Structure 1
């Protein structure tokens, strides 16, 4: 059987039709991709706006941890934090830099729990070494760097493991504190214990 002759014109027309079909498919594919991208962007924008305006984006609670000589309220106030602030836009570094390091706090570490809408504020206080009585109502505590804070005697529980300084001169007290700060921690602990319970040390000396 003789091979069938293909009309060159028909072959050309078929080729053109195939190319047009492929071009239409490519155009439709591109339109679909653009449409999906636009819808995705719109959805993200709508969701972001809804989330920003909703209660789910705001701080519901805060906990201050490891603070003893500074109150939770003092820490939160210094950091300028409030319930209702947007938690996801909170700059951890900027907030931590607000703490007053001239006081008894050495640093803070703010930890965000986004799903719980909660902040943990971990406080590192300076080493508090000693205290002295100002009057019958107040006493003052001294940190290792010379920082001080005055308390009412209703907080006398804070004195429990501190060295008692029987001095009225603030300059002298600062010099004593700086000297104590340079001591070996073990020696300092013994000094503190001897100050709190000197009778027990007298008994030990008698036994020796």
Structure 2
């Protein structure tokens, strides 16, 4: 599978390695021609959420016995770290801006007074959210699925250009953009948007 631009192709390779580290399966399993099960879709969705969490989380190996009870079969556990959240190291990262834009979009949709978002305060309100992809899913719905652009995209490069127009995605890393593009490509436009709606309605699911 190729996305036709060097940065996205490199991002896809990195995303594949990330999936393998999380689930112990070759990346080719996600890239074959067959459709995905709900579990595979959840695994890839979770991986996108973890990339959002990456600068402010601690990662530990999950005991093999615990993998059997995990909905995704994940090999690692990601736990938010208060010291990393309070620190300044992640303020220049793309995750900071994306969380700020997700927060701003949520405020605008609910009619709240618009003030500059502080991702630290936003994280305080969502810190027990297990599935960080649910945050992304709502953002995808508002700025991708509910607008006509996605329906007109004929190929992956057009979708990638559209992704970069979503607030907060302009500076997102190639690995994140490639992962999002992979999810959209494999599920299809309608399937992807239906999946986002489903994840928004299942915020309390154990996708850790």
TM-score (norm 1): 0.23
TM-score (norm 2): 0.23
